[in-house]
Amino acid sequence: MSNKKLSAGDIIDARCTRCRDVLNHRIVAMVEDKVVRVECNTCGGTHNYYPPPTPKTARTAGTGTTAKKTSATAPRAPKRDPQQSDREEWQALRTSMRIDRAIAYTMNGKYRTDDLLDHPVFGLGVVKVVIPPNKMQVLFEDGTKLLRCQ
């Protein structure tokens, strides 16, 4: 390390606002011992002095106080399957379905919440939500689908 005092005209490393990188700069202005403005030797831009970022030191496991493991260091719990709740709801509704009362699905049909549908591709389904003016969410064994209706 050198103990040389910095002065105007000296070359130092600084973050360039135009180049977006740490490059050599020439000191243009100082206030007491503090660098205030610099000029980039690469692009020639003059701007306020921004020191290069300091490298972060890695913490070792043995330093510091003995604290409990935080949730950030604990292993993550696996996420629940997003369609699992649909499958569980389908299984619960399946026992109470009256297949003989299922309405054949058509795009121009009018449906209400909790109607039982018979879709030609998806099979049996239960209308969960009717979304005006012409859509509805239907719970099938494969999951929830958005279908057209009147």
- 44-100 pLDDT per residue, tens: 999 999 998 888 777 665 555 555 555 567 777 777 776 788 888 888 988 888 889
Answer yes or no: is 133 within a domain.
yes
In this predicted structure, what is the pLDDT of residue 115? 93
The per-residue pLDDT for 123 is 92
Cα distance between residue 150 and residue 139, in whole Å: 18
Residues 35 and 88 in one domain: no
In a domain, 120, yes or no: yes
Q: Is residue 71 part of a domain?
A: no
The answer as to whether 76 is a domain residue is no
pLDDT at 77: 73
Q: Is the pTM of this model over 0.75?
A: no
Work out how many domains the chain is built from and give that number.
Answer: 2
Whether 103 maps to a domain, the answer reads: yes
2 domain residue, yes or no: no
Residues 142 and 93 in one domain: yes
Residue 31 lies in a domain: yes
Query: Read out DSSP for the chain?
Result: ---PPP-TT-EEEEEETTTTEEEEEEEEEEETTEEEEEEETTT--EEE--PPPPPPPPPPTTSS---PPPTTTSPPPPPPPTTHHHHHHHHHHHTT--GGGPEEP-TT----TT-EEEETTTEEEEEEEEETTTEEEEEETTEEEEEE--
My answer on whether 143 and 95 are in the same domain is yes
Q: Stretch 24-53: mean pLDDT, rounded?
A: 92
> Domain of 34?
11-48
User: Is residue 92 located within the same domain as residue 137?
Assistant: yes
Kindly state whether residues 92 and 140 are assigned to the same domain: yes
Same domain, 94 and 143: yes
Is the domain of 43 the same as that of 90? Answer: no
Structure tokens at 84: 């699992």
**101-137: per-residue pLDDT in tens?**
999 999 999 999 999 999 999 999 999 999 999 999 9
